[in-house]
Amino acid sequence: MKNKLVSKLAELEGLIYISGEDGISLDDLPDLLGVSNEELNSLVEKLKTKFVSNDSPFTLVTYSNKIQLATKEELNDLVKSYLKNDDNFSLTQTALETLTIIAYNQPITRVEVDDIRGVNSSKTVQRLVRQGLIVASGHKKVPGHPKLYITTENFLKLFGIDDLKKLPKIDNDLLLKEENNG
């Protein structure tokens, strides 16, 4: 029989670490660790407390019933500096606008995005797909069968939300008023 050399907390941290950018399902952890849901919640809280220290670069992020290890927000500038040649970390105003339209209207076709924006969005949509922020999720049942786009878990992670229901509410009346005055 093998001696237990690490704690359940270390096992949890190890599993979250090796899950990488995909994160690990909170539903899978009790079985993997051999603990109850209550024990898991306690372990997650202990791990969060461990990362509060100024000497720890890590934090835990939860989204879509998954948990992931991430660097603290305070390190963003340092990390961006290190990754400065990777354009995946920058979103243009056009990309943000397109992403917002997709997030609030999904599933949506590229042509429908174009109609809302008033300009062709095909290159922007392609870039957002390459960056893993949106994916094609089927086809609309109309002539031509255009692709329907939805946001991904990477979108949720990028904006620090765990569910699309947590997107800020948009006041359409206020937007129309600003558009008419602008």
Q: Show me where the domains of the chain are located.
A: 8-75, 87-181
Q: Which fold has domain 87-181?
A: Arc Repressor Mutant, subunit A (1.10.10)
pTM of the model: 0.51
Q: Is the fold of 8-75 the same as that of 87-181?
A: yes
At 26 the three-state DSSP class reads coil
The rounded distance, in Å, linking the Cα atoms of 49 and 43 is 10
Q: Tens digits of per-residue pLDDT, 45-81?
A: 999 999 999 999 999 998 889 999 888 989 988 877 7
Question: Averaging pLDDT over each range in 115-119, 143-147, 150-154, 178-182, which range is the top one?
Answer: 150-154
pLDDT tens-digit map of 18-47 = 887 778 999 999 999 999 999 999 999 999
Q: What is the token pair recorded at 74?
A: 């305070």
CATH of domain 8-75: 1.10.10.10
Q: What percent of the chain has pLDDT over 70?
A: 86
Cα of 58 vs its chain's centroid, Å: 17
Sheet of 66-71: strand order equals: 24-25, 66-71, 58-63
Task: Give CA–CA dist 137/155, Å, rounded.
Answer: 15
